[in-house]
Structure 1
């Protein structure tokens, strides 16, 4: 049996604070091994890196998610005992609701229609203002989009507050101190608000349309036929909407990529929907969002000569795999063309998780993310002109999550014409194979 390299608590903590996103990737380089052990807050934890590591991580006979999400993340980002912590039949049953909401092309197109409408409204506002922080306004656009799509009523005066609260939950992911507590407070406010929505739908005092996230989750029953508690239903409705709002971070990175690579603008203007998708995929590959994902060993097993004990916490390197030179040629170079030759593997391109959408824990809203980003890129290139003034566009890999420090400020915005219709959401998803 192979000896698994190990790093003590002090060395692990120093490395994590120093490295941030590439923490696991650099750990594998230090230890000359795709697997190594660390001490994480007093718990022995195994870190794994690579395509084959991803494949084993999504083997449900070997790994479970229950017990893998720390309480501090449940109390901010995901919600307590949410779908991310479920396994087997209960997980598949609830996941089926998310898939029914997020995969049908008509549902995706409805979301895109809402997003286009709100983007156009904000474009009119941007033309009249001196400067705009794109990230902040993209949060509002995606907040309006998510709730309109989900069937959740939102007062115009509440848009910014709700958008910032949703981001605060995401922003608390890798935080300690004030940023973490802001995330907790934001979750409490959003859970209470959405809880009222759930109660009113169930009482019949708020009309909800069958097929919307608000209706389906409010009336969801588990395998035992039991209705979720109000709070549990609120948590899962938030899990259907919060990730859509968080697409604003990817939109700001897409704008940054357009700014840093001006030749891409012309390619997008004169290119096909397929090229726009490759551009979006490259943004999702190169720019950081999720650093790693966690699971626990379901049973004792060996992999690549290394022993995994039942209950062991395991972290899969997401960021490092997306920047692995053995998987991606010149990984630090922005090159959408690389996706021409990509084979659609579920185990090497994992910005929103790996494996199968329907059977495992890969994000069910991945196609929504891709299509929403394509719409945003089309808006930025085909529908408007703007200038990018001097500002700090850097982003720190030590901050989890990260985004451009300035939020990507744009000035002198001008509408350039009617928006070209978005390509149908029926475009074949590269992660699904018929």
Structure 2
């Protein structure tokens, strides 16, 4: 039976609901008319990221490409083509560059927070999107005159918010992507023509000059897609900022260790936010041959899904998965094949999101700032629906009476 409709109605619970009846953490079903094998667990992560089993080319549905990633993005490539394109991103994400981005965003946050005290009500999800966008644009070397952070932030958030749903959110996401791809294409062309100077070694310069093949740089449209694939995931950290505020509201005892500047605890808190709160429900790839996992099979040309939300809440791995407990990551380090909110495998050679380090680094910094910020949480709808993908607190987490220490 095709389960596309139930996926749209059940959201994050769709795969976990079906895994509940499986003793081997494997499910066979159909989506969009295609046979699907869904798997879960550290072994399954290694199976899923084996390029001999799964390709990404042709696997990502067009509606997702047209909103979240962009046509021709690194996410659609395999093998040497994928590794060559990924070389564009990896040097930007070494620890020094990540720390530099975190400093840019932290300075932007501090600047914005001072203005929040003058406003009667602030929605942290919305404000975080603007802060993150403004900070990453400065870090990436985009000229200030070419960037209006607030509308750009709205478009970047819309791209993420509408990728997994039909209807108005999806249409907003398509329009946002088309608008920003056109703007970033013009910016790339201006850099190449000399009309705009990109700072040496900046993201903007690297993207504008990147070659997949020695003979020619990326076409300007594809370069714009990849520039947005630096800006968009950074803006998407606003989801985790809202979740962090939600966690500190529900479990305020964690504030003291964050306020004290306990770096190890800040890292553990960032990992637990990413594990506990829902973001990506699953990841998918196209099977390149008939695959069998724990007695269930899927033919070549079918789909292999990795149950991200289910694995991050698997009792076999976490013991108490529905308890928010950052200390679990102080007791033992995060295993990259167990904790997979942004995919699994090796980011240097595989499809694990290279921006994961950025997400963790930004959350470490912003969680501390959130814990130190004083505010009142008024009556509002803080429910987080598992049917909405991607989900977030319904109110966006509004605060009043902001006071900067």
Please, what TM-score do these two structures have when normalized by structure 1? 0.90
Determine which of 216, 228, 244 is the counterpart of 1:254. Answer: 244
Q: Distance in 1 between matches of 2:82 and 2:54?
A: 14
Matched with 1:315 is 305
2:48 corresponds in structure 1 to 57
Q: Matched residues in 2 for 1:196 and 1:156: separation?
A: 10
Shift of 1:120: 1.3
Matched with 1:161 is 151
The residue that corresponds to 1:27 in the other structure is 18
Q: Which residue of 1 aligns with 2:288?
A: 298
Q: Does structure 2 conserve the Cα–Cα contact (< 8 Å) formed by 1:324 and 1:331?
A: yes
Equivalent residues in 2 for 1:303-382 (5 A)? 303-382=293-372
Correspondence for 2:66: 75
**Which of these residues, 39, 54, 65, is aligned with residue 48 of structure 1?**
39
Figure out how many residues of one structure are paired with residues of the other and give that number. Answer: 405
Q: What is the match of residue 377 of structure 2?
A: 388
Deviation at 1:261, TM superposition (A): 0.3
Q: Does the 8 Å contact 1:24/1:48 carry over to 2? A: no
Which of 386, 389, 393 is the equivalent residue of 1:397? 386
Aligned to 2:206: 216
What are the within-5 Å matches in structure 2 for residues 169-248 of structure 1? 169-248=159-238
Give 1:280 deviation, angstroms: 1.0
CA drift of 1:67 comes to 1.0
Q: Unaligned 5+ residue runs, structure 2?
A: none
Counterpart position of 2:111: 121
1:343 to partner: Cα distance = 4.3
- Identify which range, 140-149 or 58-67, moves more after superposition: 58-67
Q: CA deviation at 1:127?
A: 0.9
TM superposition shift of 1:22: 2.2
SS of 1:392's partner is coil
For 1:213 and 1:294, locate their aligned partners in 2 and report how far apart those are by CA, in whole Å. 28
State the SS of the aligned residue for 2:316. coil
User: Mean alpha-carbon deviation: is it higher for 336-345 or for 397-406?
Assistant: 336-345
Distance 1:33 1:18, change over 3 A: farther
Where structure 1 has 5 or more consecutive residues not aligned to the other structure, the ranges are: 1-7, 417-434
Q: CA deviation at 1:155?
A: 4.5
Using the alignment, how far apart are the partners of 1:225 and 1:398 within structure 2?
47
C-alpha separation between the residues in 2 aligned to 1:342 and 1:148?
36
DSSP 3-state at the match of 1:200: helix
Within 2, Cα distance between the matches of 1:66 and 1:397? 29
Residue in 2 aligned with 1:89?
A: 80
The answer for the alignment partner of 1:149 in structure 2 is 139
Q: Shift of residue 109 of structure 1?
A: 2.2
Structure 1 window deviating more from structure 2 (310-319 vs 185-194): it is 310-319
Cα distance in 2, alignment partners of residues 138 and 258 from structure 1: 16
Q: Is the 8 A contact 2:10 2:387 kept in 1?
A: yes
- Partner of 1:426 in structure 2? none
Q: Supply the distance in 1 between the matched residues of 2:171 and 2:149 (Cα, whole angstroms).
A: 21
Which whole-Å CA distance do the structure 1 matches of 2:138 and 2:246 have between them?
A: 28
Spell out, residue by residue over 1:210-244, the C-alpha distance to the aligned partner (whole angstroms, 9 max, x if none).
Answer: 22111101111113432111101000111111100
Match of 2:7 in 1: 16
In the alignment, the residues of structure 2 paired with residue 288 and residue 372 of structure 1 have an alpha-carbon distance, to the nearest angstrom, of 18
- Is the Cα contact below 8 Å between 1:24 and 1:49 reproduced in 2? no
Q: Distance in 1 between matches of 2:99 and 2:340?
A: 24
